[in-house]
């Protein structure tokens, strides 16, 4: 059967999916995908997988894809981060029989993506991206798709999207934020950029950004003309978002825990999901936040979840008796509802673009501007410093930009060093035992 492309792929293979759950590291695992599908999601992505690790590590493949095969979990798109055409295609070939498409992550804005040279930090390397998409389009039996972030300029974003389409991308997800817009500096996603891309390409487009409820989904489709809408944060706080419901938190939390018992995943994933679901309630019953953070078993998590449910039911009873909540906390904290991230402080924008959180920390230098995570680290170790000038500098691989191996005489990382070793061994097999491939 010939490989479907573009709109035919979207309508036939993906069933014309409009409600999409985003790829989320450690958060869009099988159990969460199944919960989301039960409540209106029509298409899900796996968490971002590292292509190089996927190729070389059989356990990584098993833990993240092979052992999670489930007939209910389709259609499914597997997302990889990569910066090498050959490695990307090798990983995709190993995954293509377990999914309906392969997605290339070009949207991750985090520091780990900058260090690893992938995600949104490839968006200026158009020649490399063309080669990656073209090779995948030629070699794979399933379509290749991309998830991108926008440039500040609409024109450049449109040209970027058209380049990916020409290379062979069959579906494009556009997150309407730049790579600098993240964390507390996220701001509002630009639907204008998304609308311009949709008008300029002849492949299906999904929109990502500013989706907190079903009304947002409908408005986004109407305003931008996209084929579907992807949700990440909104889905984590309310998995029933695509149903247009805001059920009691314990209803979805208990359903999720039941699914986890059938399809186990690391406890850290479960705990993170419950922190999101119970976000507003944990502001009211803060002592249970500590309990949830400390538990070491699924049974312990279930017990904290049950206690939160009981506390909420008590709060509901008191409200019915006319008692008002104190402290300006959420009145109906026990229902699934969006979390609106506080915006950057006044003066955090310069020349129309938000400065990074790191830049603000360096400028003001106090713990009051450190991220919550860094403040926790400083509490555990008062002598810890976050001064970037004091951090060790690592030599980079000459080929891919990853940290260079300490023992590699060719200034390469471990992966590139191994490739060189095997290439040389192919030319002269007797050399293989003599080569240093430890990186």
Structure-token pair, residue 273 = 């999901």
Phi-psi region of 401 (alpha: psi -120 to 50; beta: other; left: phi over 0): left
Structure-token pair, residue 268 = 């850290």
Shortest CA distance to 194 belongs to which of 161, 168, 218? Answer: 161
Q: What is the sign, positive or negative, of the torsion defined by CA atoms of 198, 202, 203, 204?
A: positive
Residues 334, 249: contact at Cβ < 8 Å?
yes
Helix (H/G/I), strand (E/B), else coil: 281: helix
Structure-token pair, residue 407 = 């023992």
Which residues make beta-bridge pairs with 439? none
Apex 409 CA angle, 406 and 414, nearest 5: 55
Q: How many CA atoms lie within 13 A of 434 on its CB side?
A: 6
Which residues make beta-bridge pairs with 229? 19, 207
Helix (H/G/I), strand (E/B), else coil: 327: coil
Distance CA 232, CA 211 (A): 8
Residues 339, 279: contact at Cβ < 8 Å?
yes
Distance CA 131, CA 125 (A): 10
* Other C-beta atoms lying within 10 Å of the C-beta of residue 75: 16
Q: Any catalytic annotation for residue 108?
A: yes
Phi, psi of 381 (to 5 degrees): -140, 90
Alpha-helical regions (H) of 24-125? 30-38, 51-56, 58-64, 85-95, 111-116
Distance CA 43, CA 46 (A): 10
Give Cα separations from 369 to 187, 341, 372, 374 (angstroms). 18, 16, 9, 10
Question: Which positions ≥6 away from 7 have C-beta within 8 Å?
Answer: 203, 204, 227
Catalytic hit among 44, 81, 99, 108: 108
Give Cα separations from 232 to 82, 120, 135, 324, 438 (angstroms). 21, 17, 29, 33, 39
| Catalytic positions | 108
């Amino acid at each position: 059967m010939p490989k479907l492309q573009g709109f035919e792929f979207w309508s036939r293979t993906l069933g014309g999916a409009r409600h999409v759950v985003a790829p989320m590291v450690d958060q869009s695992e099988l159990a969460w995908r199944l919960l989301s599908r039960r409540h209106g999601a029509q298409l899900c992505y796996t968490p971002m997988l590292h292509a190089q690790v996927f190729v070389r590590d059989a356990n990584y493949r098993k833990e993240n894809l092979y052992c999670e095969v489930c007939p209910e979990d389709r259609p499914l798109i597997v997302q990889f981060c990569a910066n090498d055409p050959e490695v990307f295609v090798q990983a995709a070939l190993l995954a293509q029989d377990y999914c309906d498409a392969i997605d290339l992550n070009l949207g991750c804005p985090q520091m780990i993506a900058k260090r690893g040279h992938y995600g949104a930090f490839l968006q200026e390397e158009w020649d490399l991206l063309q080669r990656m998409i073209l090779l995948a389009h030629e070699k794979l039996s399933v379509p290749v798709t991309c998830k991108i972030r926008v440039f500040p300029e609409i024109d450049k974003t449109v040209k970027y999207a058209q380049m990916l389409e020409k290379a062979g991308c069959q579906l494009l997800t556009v997150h309407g934020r730049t790579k600098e817009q993240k964390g507390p500096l996220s701001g509002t996603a630009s639907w204008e950029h998304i609308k311009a891309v949709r008008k300029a390409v002849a492949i299906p487009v999904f929109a990502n950004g500013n989706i907190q409820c079903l009304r947002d989904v409908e408005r986004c489709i109407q305003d931008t003309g996209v084929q579907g809408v992807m949700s990440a944060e909104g889905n984590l706080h309310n998995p029933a978002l695509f149903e247009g419901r805001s059920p009691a938190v314990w209803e979805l939390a208990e359903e999720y825990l039941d699914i986890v018992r059938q399809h186990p995943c690391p406890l850290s994933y479960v705990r993170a999901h419950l922190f999101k679901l119970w976000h507003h309630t944990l502001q009211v019953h803060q002592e249970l936040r500590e309990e949830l953070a400390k538990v070491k078993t699924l049974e312990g998590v279930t017990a904290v979840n049950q206690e939160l449910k009981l506390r909420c039911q008590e709060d509901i009873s008191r409200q019915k008796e006319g008692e008002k909540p104190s402290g300006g906390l959420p009145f109906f904290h026990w229902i699934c509802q969006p979390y609106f991230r506080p915006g950057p402080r006044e003066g955090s924008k310069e020349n129309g673009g938000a400065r990074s959180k790191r830049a603000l920390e360096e400028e003001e230098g106090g713990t009051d501007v450190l991220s919550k995570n860094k403040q926790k680290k400083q509490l555990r170790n008062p002598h810890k410093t976050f001064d970037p000038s004091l951090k060790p500098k690592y030599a980079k691989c000459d080929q891919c930009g990853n940290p260079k191996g300490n023992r590699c005489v060719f200034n390469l990382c471990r992966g590139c060093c191994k490739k060189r070793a095997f290439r040389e061994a192919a030319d002269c097999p007797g050399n293989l035992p003599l080569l240093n491939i430890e990186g």
